Amino acid sequence: MLEKQHTFKKKNSDLPIINERIQFPEIRLINEDGSQIGILSAQEALKSAKSAGMDLVLISDKSHPPVCRITDYGKYKFNQEKKAKEAKKKQHNANLKEVKMRYKIEEHDYQVRINQALRFLQANDKVKATITFRGREIQHLNLAIQLLKKMAKDLEGVAEVQQAPSRDGKNIVMILTPKKTT
């Protein structure tokens, strides 16, 4: 039995806009060393790119007229990917870390929770401080709110309150974010 070979064509939108795919009547041309040549027709720009042995690459189609550059497309693509990888490396996503405690917490245990929250905040993560209640303990909401306010006061040098203490079922929750350093 013969197997069918599937050839998938790339959509035109997936293909890079270079050389003959540039369909604008006029473009602003930049040569390989970065100096502006001026506004030319796409055909003239393509001829000058071919004579230099390079490609005509669309840099910005948002400007008027669109900007194209004479460059080696392989090198251009490599540099774009390298820049994207570097930007991704420097990016930090703030995670939400949780510190759980009870409203009847002892002082030493409270200090452990403060140190945990401090470590999370110094790593640029948000901290969700949660106080849980069991059974009839829910009657002591005011003690839990006082504890969360004390925690916010103890961490005010490195954190600011994003969400004030609020009730969430049988829990009271407060969210702290790291202070912006200027």
pLDDT in tens, 54-78: 888 888 888 888 898 888 888 888 9
| pLDDT band, residue 12 (cuts 50/70/90) | low
| pLDDT band, residue 48 (cuts 50/70/90) | confident
Domain boundary among 28, 48, 80: 80
Q: Give 110's contacts (C-beta < 8 A, 6+ positions apart).
A: 101, 147
pLDDT score, position 37:
86
pLDDT in tens, 128-159: 999 999 988 888 899 999 999 999 999 988 99
Number of domains in the chain: 2
44 and 112 together in one domain:
no
Instruction: Tell me the pTM.
Output: 0.52
Classify residue 144 as exposed, middle or buried by CB count within 10 Å of its CB (0-12, 13-18, 19+): buried
Q: CATH number of the domain at 113, please.
A: 3.30.110.10
107 and 168 together in one domain:
yes
38 and 76 together in one domain:
yes
31 and 70 together in one domain:
yes
Domain boundary among 49, 80, 111: 80
pLDDT score, position 3:
52
| Cα–Cα distance measured from residue 129 to residue 155, given in angstroms and rounded to the nearest whole number | 12
pLDDT in tens, 75-95: 888 988 998 888 887 776 778
39 and 69 together in one domain:
yes
The residue segments making up the domain with residue 27 are 19-80
* 12 domain residue, yes or no: no
Domain boundary among 80, 105, 133: 80
pLDDT score, position 22:
83
124 and 56 together in one domain:
no
107 and 164 together in one domain:
yes
Q: Please give the average per-residue pLDDT across 161-173, as a whole number.
A: 91
Half-sphere exposure of 174 (CA within 13 A, CB side): 21
* Mean of pLDDT over the chain: 85
pLDDT in tens, 109-123: 999 999 999 999 998
Q: CATH number of the domain at 74, please.
A: 3.10.20.80
Rg (CA), the chain: 30
